[in-house]
Amino acid sequence: MLDELGSGGPPADFHSVVAFPLPALVVCELLGVPAEDLEDFCRWQVEAKEVGKPAVARAGLQSLWRYLGTLIERKRAAPADDVVSDLLAAAELDPELTDDGIAHLAAGLLFAGHAPVVAIIDRGMLLLLTHPEQRDALQRDPTLATSALEEVFRFASPIERQRAARRGGLTRYASVDVEIDGVTISAGDTVMFAVQEANEDEGVFLDPDRFDITRERNPHLSLSHGDHFCLGVHLARVELQYLFVRLFERFPTLGLAVGLDEIEPVREAVAGAVGHLPVTW
């Protein structure tokens, strides 16, 4: 992908060449989707999330569901080293794990492992390219990739900060009546946690308004907490840490090709996602 980025520019659209396809390719490899099916598979999952276009979303979801059924049959006939084959093996020990259940799990892994990772790649790029001193620090010391990624998770997109935007947070539902600060949240009520405000709590974070990739204590809540903690975070961390190190090794002078005000966020997507991200070097 970095080869393709280099041959296509400068300038080039980092979002379409790297940020969008990379997580999809990783998830597809885990699920065991053959390379020749990747393009259709990725297109269907994108269409399935078109919440503003019900007919498109329905058609995409149906195509994806049919394909997963076919994939399950393929893996049953010829198991391989992938998640779908592992689930089929587990189903032999647990009859309650049906083909529909395996398809649901596979679809969940696809949706959870693609859009959120695309968004964090976009956000991370915007943060590093608009904080050159932090980008330079990462270039000098690639071992900072671990703490850099956690700070990317914590910090709001520069587009949101520039426009004083505040996105929604994590949606949860109260299982019992809870009283907080004199307010009763009844069982069944929807609760939206203001995650970004929590991630900027002065009582928890030193100098919370500063993007600092060397931050050592970083108990952000961007990946949720407890039983709801992000299941795929370890995979995402491997992808992103490797990407940011390799990217700046390959393109040490990488920078935005347009002004920040020309980059539009995707409103219906996970916070941090953008429609395009032109870069130059």
- Per-residue pLDDT at 24: 87
At residue 165, φ and ψ (nearest 5 deg) are -85, 145
**pTM for this one?**
0.86
Q: What is the DSSP letter of 274?
A: B
Nearest residue to 63 (alpha-carbon basis) of 40, 79, 34, 87: 40
Question: What is the side-by-side order of every strand in the sheet holding 255-256?
Answer: 12-13, 278-280, 255-256
Q: How many domains does the chain contain in total?
A: 1
Question: Which residue do the tokens 């190190």 mark?
Answer: 245
Domain range spanning residue 69?
2-280
- Per-residue pLDDT at 169: 67
Q: What is the largest distance, in Å, between two alpha-carbon atoms of the chain?
A: 60
Count other Cβ atoms within 10 Å, centred on residue 47.
19
Q: Distance (Å, rounded) from C-alpha 103 to C-alpha 105?
A: 5
pLDDT tens series, the chain, 281 aa: 999 999 988 999 999 999 988 998 898 899 999 888 888 888 888 888 787 889 999 999 999 999 999 999 999 999 999 999 999 999 999 989 999 999 999 988 888 888 888 989 999 999 999 999 999 999 999 999 999 999 999 998 888 776 655 556 678 899 999 999 999 999 999 998 888 889 999 999 999 999 999 999 999 999 888 888 887 888 889 999 999 999 999 999 999 999 998 998 887 656 668 989 999 99
47 touches 138 (CB < 8 A): no
Question: Which residue do the tokens 């498109």 mark?
Answer: 56
Angle formed at CA 224 by CA 233 and CA 105, multiple of 5 degrees: 55
CATH number of the CATH domain containing 257: 1.10.630.10
Angle formed at CA 173 by CA 168 and CA 177, multiple of 5 degrees: 125
At 182, list the tokens. 């004199």
Q: Distance (Å, rounded) from C-alpha 221 to C-alpha 199?
A: 6
Count other Cβ atoms within 10 Å, centred on residue 268.
10
Q: Which helix (H) or strand (E) holds 125?
A: helix 99-130
